Amino acid sequence: MIGLQILKRTQCIGEDYVKAFNALPVANISDCMARMSAGGPRLRPLHRGGRLAGPALTVKTRPGDNLMIHKALEMAVPGDVIVVDGGGELTTALIGELMTTYAISRGVAGFVINGAVRDLDVIRAGTFPVYAAGVTHRGPYKDGPGEINVPIALDGMVVHPGDLILGDADGVLCVPIADAAEILVAARAKDAAEDKTLKDIAAGKLDQSWIDLVLQRLGCDPEPK
């Protein structure tokens, strides 16, 4: 029934794409997606450091309730990213030290929580990726309802089960399975172009003539008066 269902994934991003995208900055990948997709500025990395990459195992839960997150942990296979739409509610934590420790033992790649977490000292001391919208000491309920492996949305970013989830210090991004090949080519080219720019800066050879060309196109005289 809608609101209380557990589904299987019907597709999943391949490990080759996980590894390839994990070598690229999230910002460059985002630029190649027309800057139209993002998990929102509230989803910040709370762990000490380290990138996130893996297929999404999605959870949609009633705010403040983590029953279906517990079930998702039982379903997860190594490398999965558990992505939770908790409605963005921040007064009740959805995960903490116990669940992150168990997730690590299960080989889960990380958590993305559109909601709050607790036990921040433990999370912050480790490298297990945890992205969340807030922190609170108040614990969760375990009554449901909730759904697993359904499409969810985080601040307008739609995530389907099996899509590629990426995260670094800049935030979280979802790469749809159907677009992964095209985006990877563009992101690699973007990364190479930025590497050349950095080398040009270091050599004192950066060409900034494009700035005046844009100003002229906009009808602005680039010469100071």
**Which residues does the annotation place in the binding site for Mg(2+)?**
119
| Residue ranges at the known binding site | 96-99, 118-119
| Residue ranges at the known binding site for substrate | 96-99, 118
- 40 phi/psi in degrees, rounded to 5: 95, 150
Nearest alpha carbon to residue 102 among 119, 87, 85: 119
Q: β-pairing, 152-154 with 4-6? A: unpaired
Residue 15 and residue 110: Cα distance in Å, rounded?
16
Tokens representing 196?
A: 């050349």
- 3-state class of 18 per DSSP? helix
Q: Which DSSP category does 140 fall into? A: P
135 with 79: CB under 8 angstroms?
no
| Cα-based distances in Å from 177 to 45, 181, 184, 197 | 24, 8, 11, 30
Per-residue exposure over 135-168, b if at least 16 CB sit within 10 Å of its own CB, e if not = bbeeebeeeeebbbbbebebeebebbbbbbbbbb
